[in-house]
Amino acid sequence: QDLAKKNTANRQVVEQRRRLLEEWVAWREQMKEMLDEEGIEVEVEEDAGQGKDADAEVEEIE
């Protein structure tokens, strides 16, 4: 029974996170459209992937 409770609690946490992430992604899309409409170009590193940058590679070797 405890295990069932724990599973429900975990599921709720995951559901909550999924919701927060979806909200965030949707809001970011809105903001990108807003910037487009304002005619503003931004060099955005954000959402650029996994940081496979020269610096990061050097760190891995160490």
Shortest Cβ 41–another protein spacing (Å): 10
Least distance in angstroms from the C-beta of 33 to another protein: 11
Q: Please give the full DSSP string across 9-48, using - where no structure is assigned.
A: HHHHHHHHHHHHHHHHHHHHHHHHHHHHHHT------TT-
Count of chain residues binding another protein (CB under 8 A): 30
- For another protein, the binding residue among 7, 9, 21, 26 (CB under 8 A) is 21
Least Å distance, CB 6 to another protein, is 16
Q: State residue 48 phi and psi, 5-degree precision.
A: -85, 0
